[in-house]
């Protein structure tokens, strides 16, 4: 029984989010998410690779023997990562320098291979493509939120260096939250990323608990009996 589109969407964005629930790909997530733009750049690259690799794996799922499926999936993922890496180096060179080694390291991201093996290789092309897209968007949201939190606390700004991704048009996109802010070093350092992600997971769990609480409804008849 194939999973419904609504279930695939909710899993990718919330219930089975890569960063909040699966806790996969934490190395680039924690290392790169020092600003909103860095997080957005890595998140979009990961989303494109997830979408393309899921689609490709699902398309060949009946052609690849079980004994070689993992090497075949790795080859597909590595091909797309190489293409994205070369494209960013050509058209987003400054951002590519900032993200550095973490673009090629997407090949080793457990989330991408995990979705290919656990989902894309067992379902139809349309569902696999949707899963890759939603998982990528969910991962990007975590990167952007964590990057925004760390940038705001660490530098007192938002959307700093937006021109690295959007060009000269974004030179004035920088938002200064606190004038003459001296910065909070812990937020920029790796320990700040761990603390920030932990706080975000706590907030998500609290929201899930609130949503899971049963809604108590009282009928009109019961209300009239209590009044009498």
Is residue 135 included in any domain, yes or no? Answer: yes
pLDDT grade for 79, boundaries at 50, 70 and 90: very high
Is residue 176 within 8 Å of 157, Cβ to Cβ? yes
| Average pLDDT of the chain to the nearest whole number | 91
Is residue 225 included in any domain, yes or no? Answer: no
Is residue 226 included in any domain, yes or no? Answer: no
Is residue 219 included in any domain, yes or no? Answer: no
DSSP H or E stretch at residue 177: none
pLDDT grade for 10, boundaries at 50, 70 and 90: very high
For 160, the 3-state DSSP assignment is coil
Condensed to tens digits (0 to 9), the pLDDT of residues 106-156 reads 988 889 999 999 999 999 999 999 999 999 999 999 999 999 999 999 999
- State the residue range of the domain holding 107: 5-212
pLDDT at 228: 53
Whole-model pTM: value is 0.91
- Cα separation of 124 and 1, whole Å? 11
- Cα separation of 181 and 134, whole Å? 37
Q: Is the pLDDT of residue 105 over 70?
A: yes
CA nearest neighbour of 109 among 191, 30, 16, 13: 30
Q: According to DSSP H, which parts of the chain are helical?
A: 5-10, 26-32, 36-59, 69-91, 93-99, 110-118, 125-155, 163-166, 185-188, 190-212, 220-227
pLDDT at 226: 54
Phi, psi (degrees; rounded to nearest 5) at 151:
-70, -40
Q: Is the pLDDT of residue 221 over 80?
A: no
Task: Express as a percent the part of the chain with pLDDT over 90.
Answer: 76
Is residue 222 included in any domain, yes or no? Answer: no
Condensed to tens digits (0 to 9), the pLDDT of residues 46-78 reads 999 999 999 999 999 999 998 899 999 999 999
Task: Express as a percent the part of the chain with pLDDT over 70.
Answer: 93
Across 208-214, average pLDDT: 88
- Domain total of the chain: 1
DSSP H or E stretch at residue 72: helix 69-91
- Cα separation of 222 and 57, whole Å? 56
73-91: b or e for each residue (b if 16 or more CB lie within 10 Å)? bbebbbebbeebbeebeee
């Amino acid at each position: 029984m194939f999973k419904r589109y609504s279930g695939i969407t909710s899993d990718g964005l919330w219930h089975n989010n890569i960063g909040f629930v699966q806790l996969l790909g934490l190395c680039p997530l924690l290392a790169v998410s020092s600003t909103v733009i860095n997080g957005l750049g890595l998140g979009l690259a990961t989303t494109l690779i997830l979408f393309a690799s899921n689609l490709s794996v699902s398309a060949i799922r009946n052609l690849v023997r079980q004994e070689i499926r993992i090497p075949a999936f790795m080859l597909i993922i590595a091909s797309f990562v190489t293409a994205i890496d070369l494209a960013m180096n050509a058209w987003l060179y400054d951002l590519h320098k900032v993200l550095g080694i973490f673009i090629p390291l997407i090949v080793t991201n457990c989330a991408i291979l995990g979705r290919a093996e656990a989902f894309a290789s067992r379902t139809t092309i349309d569902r696999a493509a949707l899963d890759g897209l939603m998982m990528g968007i969910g991962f990007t949201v975590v990167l952007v939120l964590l990057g925004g939190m760390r940038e705001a606390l660490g530098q007192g700004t938002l959307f700093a260096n937006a021109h690295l991704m959007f060009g000269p048009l974004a030179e004035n996109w920088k938002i200064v939250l606190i004038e003459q802010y001296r910065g909070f070093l812990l937020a920029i350092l790796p320990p700040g990323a761990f603390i920030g992600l932990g706080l975000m997971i706590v907030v998500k769990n609290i929201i899930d608990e609130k949503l899971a609480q049963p809604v108590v409804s009282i009928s009109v008849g019961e209300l009239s009996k209590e009044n009498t």
